[in-house]
Amino acid sequence: MPSSEFDLIHRYFAAHRIARRDVLVGIGDDAAVVQVPGDMALATSVDTLVAGVHFQHDAQADAVGHKALAAGLSDMAAMGAEPAWAVLALTLPEADETWVAGFCRGLFALADEHGVALVGGDTTRGPLSATVTVQGLVSPEAGFYRGAARVGDTVCVTGTLGDAGLALRLAAEGRRGEGANRVYLNDRLDRPSPRIGGALRMRGLVRAAIDVSDGLVADLGHILEASGVGATVLVDRLPLSPAFRACSNDIEQAVDLALAAGDDYELCFTIGGGDGPALEKVMADAACPWTPIGTIEAERGLRLIRDSGASYEGPLHGYDHFATR
């Protein structure tokens, strides 16, 4: 028997236990009601995944569920906010319970890992898409704002860059196999780990931050623009994973991917020029590697240079849904 909208909501969304005491009203009323502590501000972010644009129509449902939430969690990390609540607008071509069950598995595994409660949503029929709004709590003075980079700051990134982009490229080239390295890259594309833990530990040291979803050049560019500054980035210092090095066959292509490919959901952030050792200390047990890659300067624009001192002619743009070329 086909499921109704309400069967789906009850079986898959309302059935999941909410472990947060600050959810006064969750799924089942006209709106969710949550308690915000008096001294905290609310951070809100929304992301949409559209089938055929952000994921293949035949993508695994649990990976879609994971990624639909991961994007918003990554935005919370980039603000220095602790994620708390989410709402989900899900549009399905049909009430395919197997797909919804898989989607929920991916979504709730990640939600539970970060103590996030799904408090509401909307379920409609139409072309497959998932829109997740995430809300989190941020102390207004300790938030990470794009406009806060200062001349002399060190530019850093968490984790490694380009893994998801390389996974996409290898798939587009029809390359299969390649064992554990390829599995690692595909996992980085399908199940990114938002840097919540690292971000929360960095509070007090980070000045400006952004999550790398459209490629480092584009995303760092937003920090530079908002802060009215420029930067030099040392392309030979870009952190690349062992799997990335093993699977990319030429170094220029590798550097370009690390500079311009999106979807890694790492953080790009700045700290005061002398704050590296302090950051090292707080990050030691965060399981969140980070790498200094450049310096904020007064001269506007982004300069890419090699360790030799030669300038690097890299890609100047990241991903843009409405780009005309």
d(CA 279, CA 268): 14
Q: Which of 49, 90, 164, 208 binds ligand ADP (CB under 6 A)?
A: 90
Q: What mask of x and - would describe binding to ligand ADP in positions 8 to 37, judged by CB under 6 A?
A: -x---x-------------xxxx-------
Q: What mask of x and - would describe binding to Mg ion in positions 112 to 151, judged by CB under 5 A?
A: ----------x-----------------------------
Q: Residue 185 contacts by C-beta under 8 Å, 6 or more apart in sequence?
A: 163, 164, 166, 167, 170, 241, 243, 244, 247
Write the DSSP symbol of residue 13. Answer: I
Q: Could you count the other beta carbons within 10 Å of the beta carbon of residue 231?
A: 25
By beta-carbon proximity to Mg ion, the closer residue of 123 and 213 is 123
Q: What mask of x and - would describe binding to Mg ion in positions 69 to 108, judged by CB under 5 A?
A: ----------------------------------------
d(CA 76, CA 134): 8
Find which of Mg ion, ligand ADP, none residue 118 binds, CB within 5 to 8 Å per kind: ligand ADP
Q: Which strands make up the sheet holding 301-305, listed edge to edge?
A: 206-212, 266-271, 154-158, 290-297, 230-234, 301-305
Instruction: Tell me which H or E stretch contains 209.
Output: strand 206-212
Find which of Mg ion, ligand ADP, none residue 116 binds, CB within 5 to 8 Å per kind: none
By beta-carbon proximity to Mg ion, the closer residue of 122 and 320 is 122
Which of the residues 161 through 190 are near ligand ADP (CB under 6 A)? none
- Alpha carbon 40 to chain centroid distance? 23
Under the binding rule (CB under 5 A), the answer on residue 236 touching Mg ion is no
* C-alpha atoms less than 13 angstroms from C-alpha of 324 in its C-beta half-sphere: 0
Q: Which of 120, 136, 165, 198 binds ligand ADP (CB under 6 A)?
A: 120
By beta-carbon proximity to ligand ADP, the closer residue of 30 and 285 is 30
Of all residues in the shown chain, the one whose CB is closest to ligand ADP is 121
Give the number of residues in contact with Mg ion, rule: CB under 5 A. 1
d(CA 148, CA 227): 6
Under the binding rule (CB under 6 A), the answer on residue 318 touching ligand ADP is no
Task: Quote the least distance from Cβ 105 to ligand ADP, whole Å.
Answer: 14
Under the binding rule (CB under 5 A), the answer on residue 29 touching Mg ion is no
- Residue 210 · residue 87 · CB < 8 Å: no
- Residue 258 · residue 238 · CB < 8 Å: yes
Residues that bind ligand ADP (CB under 6 A): 9, 13, 27-30, 88, 90, 118, 120-123
